[in-house]
Structures are given as C-alpha cells and as structure tokens.
Amino acid sequence: MTRRSISRRLAAMFALVALCVFTLVGGGLFLVLRLQLEHHLRESLDDRAEIARVIVAHVSTPEKWHFVREKLTDLTPADHTSLFSVVSADPRYEYGRPLTGQVITSWPGGYVRMRPLGSQAEMLAITMAVPASGVRPPLQLQVAADSSANTRTLRVFGWALAASAALGSLAVLLLSYWVATLGLAPLTRLTKDASEVSPNNR
C-alpha cells in the first residue's frame, strides 16, 4: 500500500469523524435555538392573552361590549400576525372567528400549533376560559400569533449549519491529507531504504 493511498484513507476517516461531530453539534444548536424561539413566542403570546383577558373580563353587559371590540381591534396588527377571537353562547358577546385548520402540535395549558385553512403559515394559539360576570355568560377567548418568522429563522439557520458542516468536513479532509502525507514521509524513506537492502548491499 503506497503512502498516497494510506494518506487518503486517513484523511477520509478524519473527515468522516469531523462530519459526525459537526452534525451532532449543529443538531444541538438547532434544537436550542428552536426551543428558545418557541419560548419567546409563548411569552409574547401569554402577554397578549393576559391583556385581552383583562379587557374581556371587565365587561359584563352587552351595552359595553363595543369597548371590547374596539380594544381588541386596536390590539390586532395591520399584518394580522396576532389574532383575537371570543366565542360565547350569547352572540352579543362574540368577536372575530376562532382559528380552524390542521392541528400540528398541542401542549398542556391550551397551547396549539396549527396551520389555518387556506394558509401555509403556522400559528401558535392559546384558548382560555373567561368566567361569567353579571349578565354575561362564560366566554372562550383565543389569541393566536404567527410563527412564520420563527420558521424562516430556523430554516436559514439549518441551511447555514449544513453548509458549515460540509465546508468544515472538506477542510478537515484536505488538512488531514496534507498532515498524513507529511507524517508518513519518514515511513516512505524507510521503505525505500529497506527496498535497497540486498545480500550485496547491506
């Protein structure tokens, strides 16, 4: 086996090990980023839900329900990245429409990730019960937030990790071949000297 073939095999083995390490590290970083983005989105969703709950809970008569409509409309961004809806047995205490579509994931506490009908964007929603007050019956309040920004961030980060792992493995392959070639140089000289040994040339 020549020095070049040994160097290639060593370089390929080191590159494979490097690719495995990069993949594990990249997967860990991707998971941490995903969890952090979901955590921040939930915190933001909880803040909006609490504000909406306080607004809804303080109205107990149908005559004042228009204040709820106005305030929830003011809280809804123009790009509809946040949505509010209220469902009641009494239609006088309703607002918006609850999300309907494909449920992707659900968590304890009323959280659900879903893809609304007619849309490719995923939304994180929470549904909570608002107790009855005065003549107002109990209500179901739903607050939803668009998670498209998180999805785009994870996609870009994933591609960046994949490209970094590929380029890093290629760099390890080339450097390992160079180092292996240098490291095997004494063995090559020894092999050459050994091949010149003969009964007449010791």
When divided into structural domains, the chain yields a total of 1
Q: pLDDT tens across 159-199, in order?
A: 999 999 999 888 888 888 887 777 666 655 656 555 555 56
* Contact residues for 16 (Cβ-Cβ < 8 A; gap 6+): 169
Determine the pLDDT at residue 198. Answer: 58
Specify if 136 maps to a domain. Answer: yes
Distance between CA atoms of 49 and 55, rounded to whole angstroms?
10
Specify if 178 maps to a domain. Answer: no
Specify if 131 maps to a domain. Answer: yes
Determine the pLDDT at residue 199. Answer: 62
DSSP-derived secondary structure for 64-86:
GHHHHHHHHHHHS-TT-SEEEEE
Q: Whole-prediction pTM value?
A: 0.74
Specify if 109 maps to a domain. Answer: yes
Determine the pLDDT at residue 71. Answer: 94
Specify if 194 maps to a domain. Answer: no
* Tokens (6 digits) for 105: 């994931």
The CATH number of residue 112's host domain is: 3.30.450
Q: Are 19 and 169 in contact (CB under 8 A)?
A: yes
Q: pLDDT tens across 97-128, in order?
A: 888 888 888 888 788 888 888 777 788 999 99
Residue 2 has pLDDT above 60, yes or no: no
Specify if 134 maps to a domain. Answer: yes
Range of the domain at 36: 25-154
Specify if 185 maps to a domain. Answer: no
* Contact residues for 170 (Cβ-Cβ < 8 A; gap 6+): 15
Specify if 39 maps to a domain. Answer: yes
